[in-house]
Structure 1
Amino acid sequence: MIRSIFIAAFVISGTLSTFAQNSYQYTADIANIKSDAVAITLKTPAISQQEVTFSFPKAIPGSYARKDYGRFIADFEAFDKSGKKLKINKLNENQYSISNATTLDQISYRVNDTWDEKHKDFIFQPGGSNIEAGTNVVMNNHAFYGYFEGMADMPFEIAVSKPADFYGATHLDVNRASPQKDIIKAKNYVYLADNPIIYSRPDTASFYEGKSKINIAVFSATGKVKSAQVTAYLKPISAALNKFFNGLPISSYQFLYYFEDPEKALADRAKGEGGYGALEHNYSSLYYLPEMTLESRLKSMVYDVSMHEFLHIQTPLNLHSNEIEHFNFTAPVMSQHLWLYEGITEYFAQLVQVQNGLTNEKQFFAKMREKMSEADEFGDFSMTEMSKRVMEDSFQKKYNSVYSRGALLGLMLDLEIREKTGGKKDLKQVITELSKKYGPNRPFDDNKLFDEFVAASHPAVKDFLDKYIAGPNAIPYQEYFGKIGYEYAPTKDVQAYYPGKMGLKYDEPTKSFLFTGVENNPLGIADNDVFKAIDGVAVSGENIDEIWGSYFQENTQHPSISFTVVRKGQEKTLSGKILDGQFKTKHYLEPMPAATAQQKQLLSALIGR
């Protein structure tokens, strides 16, 4: 017994020693940032070959475009144990060859941020890095740390020197060794790259949804958005997804939000430098969004983008191909199933909201109309071919179609499955079944997914997949919306009513809406009139979008309107008939006046009403 214990202890000790020798030992100094650059050093693992290649990613999972993070690396140097420089050769934008590598002991370089510098091929902010001394560091690890080719599966340890009042929010394992130092660990490069960090003065919160802990960290450029607000938005989202999944398939999840000053963000967008959005990861998501003072707009934005990213805990976390499981950061081979990873996810993001009362039926179908208009920009094409070849410029231009065409295909595919199985199965059940078969550690064969999908749903589904996902055929909107009692037409002349040309602006100090840019109108509305009520309904941040849509954008029901406004402190009522005429609406979509019982039943099963 004693002998056995001694042998076991010896083996464990040997394993720990091997771990220490065969790991990446990084240091990053974010306490002493100079010229928006961070100094990095690496105590290298043992190298057995005379020449070795050190790489930074060309592309990353979840972002389907060339990034070339090596562009932002400067002063790259390699040293042996005596401190002597070794010969290096820059092979391309992202890779360095190091000679006499068996003597290699240390590498050093500087990381420049990707957000602030004007450059070609700007990296979308959630996939890049921001380095602002004393304010924040957005540390997407793929932008900071590299690896040796053939050695990406080794463990990583990163010692981060930081300001004492900075907190590093991340899903990664962090030993907060002292106020000025964090020790971060990752089991390999894929896991490191999959878990971003935001360093800033802390504004964090957390809550449990079922057995899953949800963590929130917020950086707000001018302090307008707080973690408590965002937490209030995420609680109903998490509850809805817990119901959707019948228990969230993760033990914890990290939301990382960067809310930018909208004036700066607008200036950046005007220069073509990125835009608002988010990047999903398996156990976290990173957001770059504008600060908003109007609570309803902030809530709606967080709902939409957070629901989508959170849903990625299903795909690709629990259902993905070999190409994603064994992602090649320097020579990426893409999966052909972006329609699944992004399109179905975006469809579910809208479906979960309407099924759980976070939006209503009218809002759900208005969103589908928006997506039809957005899909028009890309035309008809094979989604699988686009996905496989998305790194090519001509196909990269069609990438954003996954959020429009892809989501619409998700809706049609869901209806196809429900109809063909007589309501016994739906798209969610099929995805769930496949997720259970594979899971986070077992990828599927990219070329066999359609066969698996058909086997899990219905033989007739093959024709749909072949025609509209693998094939370039136009989506038959009229056919599928007709199944749920909605009339569809590509264009339709509609009788409409107009109050005149005018806009609205939100006045933060008074928390009210003011008319602006007003031209001649039949009711005498004037610039800076405070919009108080319409047809007896008080105007608020919660209902302003619905009012604007119903009365000002596509008004088909209100030939006469009664406005209540405040002008120079005096409340006025402005009532009467407004302008009328015909307009040609695109992607007309309205409930049929006499839908059949079968149509109503399928609609009710879909949206949960």
Structure 2
Amino acid sequence: MKKVMALIGFGMMMLSCGSSPRTSNELAVSNPIESSMDLTAVVNDKVPVTINPGRFTQDTVTYRLPRVVQGTYDISDFGAFVDDFKALDYDGKSLPVEKVDKNTWVITNATQLDKLTYWVNDSFDVESNPNYPNLFSPGGTNIEPNNYVLNLHGFIGYFDSLKNNQYTLDVVSPANFERTSALQKVAESASANGEKMTTSYFAPRYFDITDNPMMYGKLDVEEFMVGDIKIVLSVYSPNKKHTAESLKETMYKMMEAQKNYLGSINSTPRYDIYLYLSDGSAKAPKGFGALEHHTSTVVVLREWDSKESLAQSMVDVVSHEFFHIVTPLTVHSEDIHYFDYNTPTFSKHLWMYEGVTEYFAQHFQVYEGLVTPRDFFGTMDKKIDHASYFNDALSFTEMSENITEEPYAYNYVNVYQKGALIGMCMDILMREESDGTRSMLSLIKELSSKYGKDKPFEDDSIIDEISNMTYPSVAAFLQNHVVGSVPINYDEFFEKVGLYYEETKVATNYVQAANGLVMDRNKETEEMFFTDNVEDNSFWKEQGVQPGDKLVGINGFNISDMNIKFVVSQIFAWETGKEVDVTLDRNGETIEIKTTLTPAFTTSRTLVENPNATKKQIALRNAWLNQSENM
């Protein structure tokens, strides 16, 4: 209660005093760092930022913007977006400043320092510029007349000597803007002419600055309750193709199912979803996906997607980010809890933070009845296929600890493939050993109870701890396939739940078979020809097409006069019922095919339920998928 009252008192102080100038007697070590951004004063696509730390007693201080931010596992160098950095004394005169690297400024004569001022460029419109870091878009920033994506780690930095200080933040914006943020708002006031609005926020420490993004502008905002969690959905669609209202039902249904799946885990009373839809223009963001925070996520997706396609993307992306409230936001190691934004050390456990989270994001959909078991099997089977593109004999803990370095960085994407499969295998093992009473989710709940967002675990000890909490089979799995480099035989785990692979006929288009394209081109002659895959495409096989046949003409057009990519795109767009006229060259013989397109099929190795599964296998599968005996 004392903490609550202290914050209320601080808010009242902000309301009554605003951001009045500081005196030179206010020591930096004992006062909040005052920061401000003015979105109404943008010049050349840059926002002015002011940092007022109070009075320093040392002669030299160091100020930084993050080199790395949590959740990205990559070098960001946000200082590269800063221009015209100045340190001003109490008379408004410049103090000596040395920029020692991309993100670090050292200020001398710091006892005279009043404030820092600088300008910040955004990352969205320079993603293809080699002079700037290539940031993952959801972790980046946007500055444009109608929209501001304010990942605050791109604007506000920290002093090395004041890492634990509180922050205040004033954001000045046009009064007609929508303003959404999960950061604690303590005051709001309009300018005398009513054209501007100053919104004041409070952050207990720098982590809360980086952990609470904002979105300002001409947004579409919907708020709704999922149980006792308030969901705030903010959407920016440049061409107004999509709205928050059109996504609201999908998000509600998904998050209600997630909350049912999580049960007693409930770590936030509010969750913000910031969705920026890229229109595909030259300066629009290209990195589609999302970045998690404790109580929010920033999402960047395609504006040109259909309503149905966008809704499915939001389910896949946001469900993953929401599950991060469990791990690493609740269950995490000391590397994450005491994160160093300049020279971080990385935890060994991306298999849990990203892999298990991705597994939950897929598993809850079948467990809560949003998708069919067959759909879920197909999803996990695709992850097996995609994981095969990466080094399957690479220790996951070793990769995780060195994730910003090669060859580990290249394999990062595998945390969403093999990492999720690790979660699946452990889930099956947990359920098998406990006769269905324990699971991967129950294990994470046990870890959440033992640790939690304010109590990190020891990075080097958690594998042994999980082993002791579970079963010898789980311990062996972790040592062999997570710490060790032994590839996983997934068939063994599917057998436990009565699944197996069978060859089935599946629909395809007219350019693909199960193993790839049915056509290729000779790079020297530019001639197009049919590959061995043509024998696994029912349409072409029924027409008698053979591997090696050259494609000469389509519907009266000579292939040699057409761009190869255009030809493939045209055939890809063919639909059943269309009349086609195809000319081939087979060893000098001209062959003409005039026909009406019939559906094309290919054979696929599909994961399905084994009709000969035992009662024990079926019971384990039903527990795993939350299915009844009669289904």
What TM bracket, shorter-length normalisation? 0.7 to 0.9
1:22 matched to 2:31? The reply is yes
What RMSD over aligned residues (CA atoms) do the two structures have, in Å?
3.1
Q: Summarize the alignment of residues 403-414 of structure 1 with structure 2, pairs less than 5 Å apart.
A: 403-414=416-427
Secondary structure of 2:617's aligned partner: helix
The answer for unaligned runs of 5 or more in structure 1 is: 1-7, 504-518, 529-551, 554-561, 567-573
Larger displacement relative to structure 2 (15-24 or 338-347): 15-24
Q: Distance in 2 between matches of 1:208 and 1:170?
A: 17
Q: CA deviation at 1:188?
A: 0.9
Correspondence for 1:299 among 296, 306, 311: 311
2:389 & 2:322 partners in 1: Cα distance? Answer: 27
Query: 373-382 or 427-436, which moves further after superposition?
Result: 373-382
1:372-383 equivalent positions in 2, closer than 5 A: 372-380=384-392, 381-383=394-396
TM-score normalised according to structure 2 size? 0.79
CA distance in 1, matches of 2:69, 2:451: 22
Q: What secondary structure, in the 3-state scheme, does the structure 2 residue paired with 1:313 have? A: coil
| Paired residues, number | 531
Q: Secondary structure at the match of 1:91?
A: strand
For structure 2, list consecutive stretches of 5 or more residues without a partner in the other structure.
14-25, 191-195, 514-538, 544-553, 556-570, 580-594
CA contact (8 A) 2:576 2:597 kept: no
Q: Which residue of 1 aligns with 2:470?
A: 457
- The answer to whether the 8 A contact 2:28-2:56 is kept is no
Cα contact 1:499–1:522 (8 A) shared by 2? no
Q: 1:493 to 1:114 in 2, by over 3 A?
A: same
Q: Which residue of 1 aligns with 2:546?
A: none
Kindly tell me: are residues 116 and 499 of structure 1, through their superposed partners in 2, closer, same or farther at Cα, counting changes over 3 Å?
Answer: closer
Change (3 A) 1:72 1:374: same
Partners in 1 of 2:102 and 2:499 — Cα distance? 52
- Range 141-150 or range 164-173, more displaced: 164-173
Deviation at 1:589, TM superposition (A): 2.3
Number of the residue aligned with 1:50: 59
- C-alpha deviation, 1:500, in angstroms: 4.3
- 5 Å-filtered alignment, 1:421-460, equals 421-460=434-473
Does the Cα contact within 8 Å between 1:22 and 1:46 map onto a contact in 2?
A: no
Instruction: Output aligned runs, 1:91-110, within 5 Å.
Output: 91-110=100-119
> Matched residues in 2 for 1:393 and 1:109: separation?
34
8 Å CA contact 2:395, 2:482 repeated in 1? yes
Letter in structure 2 aligned against 1:255: I
Residues 378 and 606 of structure 2 are in contact (CA less than 8 Å); yes or no, is this contact kept in structure 1?
Answer: no
Contact 2:333/2:457 (<8 A) preserved: yes
Question: Which one of 591, 604, 608 corresponds to residue 590 of structure 1?
Answer: 608
Any conservation in 2 of the 1:304–1:349 contact (CA below 8 Å)? yes
Does structure 2 retain, via aligned residues, the 8 Å contact 1:122–1:274? no
Work out which of the residue numbers 590, 598, 602 in structure 1 matches 2:620. 602
- Could you tell me which residue of structure 2 aligns to residue 181 of structure 1? 198
TM-score using structure 1 length: 0.81
Change (3 A) 1:54 1:498: closer
**Corresponding position of 1:556:** none
* Equivalent residue, structure 2, for 1:124: 136
Determine the structure 1 residue equivalent to 2:235.
218
Distance (Å, rounded) in 1 between the aligned partners of 2:152 and 2:377? 39
Shift of 1:295: 2.5
Q: Distance in 1 between matches of 2:596 and 2:312?
A: 31
- Of all paired residues, the percent bearing the same amino acid is 32
Secondary structure of the structure 2 residue equivalent to 1:447: coil
Q: Please give the per-residue CA displacement for 1:549-605, whole angstroms capped at 9, x wherever unaligned.
A: xxx99xxxxxxxx96899xxxxxxx9997677x75x4x6423223221111111111
SS at match of 2:340: coil
- Partner residue, 1:511: none
Against the structure 1 CA distance between its residues 108 and 603, is the aligned structure 2 distance closer, same or farther, given a 3 Å change threshold? same
Residue 201 (1) aligns with residue 227 (2): no
Per the TM alignment, residue 459 of structure 1 is displaced from its structure 2 partner at its CA by: 3.1
Tell me if structure 1 keeps the 8 A contact 2:67–2:103: yes
Q: Is 1:370 paired with 2:388? A: no
Q: Distance in 2 between matches of 1:249 and 1:370?
A: 32
CA change 1:98–1:374 in 2 (3 A) is: same
State the partner residue of 2:401.
388
Residues 223-276 of structure 1: CA deviation (Å, up to 9, x unaligned): 111111221111111211211121433111111111111x33xx679xxx7421
Taking a change above 3 Å as real, the CA distance of residues 274 and 564 of structure 1, as seen in their structure-2 partners, is: closer
Identify if the C-alpha distance between structure 1 residues 521 and 383 changes in structure 2 by more than 3 Å, giving closer, same or farther.
closer
What's the CA shift for 1:29? Answer: 1.2
Mapping of 1:18-167 within 5 angstroms?
A: 22-117=31-126, 118-120=128-130, 121-132=133-144, 134-167=145-178
Residue 429 of structure 2: aligned partner: 416
Whole-angstrom distance in 2 between the partners of 1:472 and 1:47: 51
Structure-2 separation of matches of 1:105 and 1:151: 15
CA displacement, residues 398-417 of structure 1 (integer Å, 9 cap, x when unaligned): 11111001001110111111
Distance 1:294 1:237, change over 3 A: same
Q: Distance in 1 between matches of 2:89 and 2:364?
A: 56
SS at match of 2:462: helix
